[in-house]
Structure 1
């Protein structure tokens, strides 16, 4: 498979090399980081409208706080990019950005 030469493409290439099955739906986790913590309650409400369930991870010694949501679809570069862009746009007024994602296979 061919993926663009960027960070997301690198992750997808690594998954492909490890034998990931791109033909089956999988659960994809997306993280939203916020400039200030905690996120505004309206941001959480909008995320729930967009994604359904969300998980809020409070800051600790290792990580700044973040909000996680997941979708269950066939993994593709376009899906990753579109989701990150849509969520970042949705969260922009609250200082939120979606730049990280992952799958656990």
Structure 2
């Protein structure tokens, strides 16, 4: 199948979604997508985390032991749609900037199902 550049634009997000699609991931199914924000200070990270919790976002907050940076991961359960991801990236970028942090990208687990599995075969 030829790549549909309306659905999968030629940029980082479009390339990731296209690769997921090419790998057999069903992009019409909801995924838990993880968006990441990075902060230099614990105080700014905690203030941002509190703001996200008030917005009813599911998050984790942790410090990277190697870099001492603080990271917030926001978990959004959604269909991996290009325009929705871009909109959330914009929103998370604005929030991170308000608290002197930066948006650090997104990722998710790929859900690829093998319809050819024998009934007696269990996935590992």
TM-superposed deviation, 1:46: 0.9
Gaps of 5+ in 2: 111-124
Q: Helix, strand or coil: the match of 1:56? A: strand
Gaps of 5+ in 1: none
TM-superposed deviation, 1:96: 2.1
- Where is the helix percentage greater, Structure 1 or Structure 2? 1
Other-structure match for 2:107:
102
Among 17, 24, 30, which residue is 2:22 paired with?
17
**Separation in structure 2 between the aligned mates of residue 58 and residue 95 of structure 1, nearest angstrom:** 16
TM-superposed deviation, 1:53: 2.5
**Separation in structure 1 between the aligned mates of residue 41 and residue 53 of structure 2, nearest angstrom:** 18
Other-structure match for 2:87:
82
Larger Rg: 2
**Separation in structure 1 between the aligned mates of residue 56 and residue 22 of structure 2, nearest angstrom:** 29
The answer as to 2:11 corresponding to 1:6 is yes
**Separation in structure 2 between the aligned mates of residue 78 and residue 39 of structure 1, nearest angstrom:** 32
TM-superposed deviation, 1:62: 6.7
Instruction: Tell me the matched-pair count.
Output: 104
Other-structure match for 2:71:
66
TM-score (norm 2): 0.73
TM-superposed deviation, 1:63: 7.6
Q: Is the 8 A contact 1:51 1:70 kept in 2?
A: no
Quote the RMSD (CA, aligned, Å).
1.9
Q: Kindly tell me: are residues 51 and 15 of structure 1, through their superposed partners in 2, closer, same or farther at Cα, counting changes over 3 Å?
A: farther
